[in-house]
Amino acid sequence: MDNPIPALIFGGFLIALGGFLLFNQKKLNDSLSDQDLPEQELKFLRLRNRRRMQVAGLILLIGIMIPTGDSLIPWGHALVTFAIYWLIVLGLAFWIILLALADIVATRTHTSVELTRLQIQQQSLEQAAKQLRKAQAAARRDSPS
């Protein structure tokens, strides 16, 4: 193209965004080993972290590919290469979308399961409290005043 500046700016933004996301996910991953969580929760968090690190890495890669493809590679005589290159960039963007959708579904499912578990636990605790109150009331009635 004649003006590589927009591709360089957009690519630079994606590189910065991808680097920032990778750094944050790496920090989160390191902090997971310090936490005392149930195995199922750790598994969910590790899988989520892996998906999010893939997204961050792919954003970084696309940030490198956009200015490279736009300004450094001469496309005038290689239309097939041009089409394949940009189809790869679009394919990576589509993969990011699929990973994001998978993350949304997995998080929703995990949250739903955890809420159900907490509701069952709450009902169990409420039942135990009700039994204790009944036992306490019966003990008051049976004890001489």
66 by Cβ neighbours in 10 Å (0-12 / 13-18 / 19+) ranks as buried
Q: How far is Cα 132 from Cα 27, in angstroms, rounded to an integer?
A: 45
Please state the domain count of the chain: 1
Q: How far is Cα 96 from Cα 32, in angstroms, rounded to an integer?
A: 24
Q: pTM of the full predicted structure?
A: 0.79
> b/e map of 18-33 (b: 16 or more CB within 10 Å)?
beebbeebeeeeeeee
Domain containing residue 120: 5-142
Rounded to 10 degrees, the C-alpha dihedral 112/116/121/127 comes to 150
CA 80 to chain centre: 35
The one-digit pLDDT tens for each residue of the chain (145 residues) are 577 788 889 999 999 999 999 999 999 888 887 778 888 888 888 899 999 999 999 999 999 999 988 877 777 777 888 888 999 999 999 999 999 999 999 999 999 999 999 999 999 999 999 999 998 888 888 777 6
- Alpha-helix residue ranges (DSSP H) falling in 33-144: 39-67, 79-142
What local confidence, expressed as pLDDT, does residue 35 receive?
78
Q: Could you write out the DSSP letters of every residue in 43-67? A: HHHHHHHHHHHHHHHHHHHHHHHHH
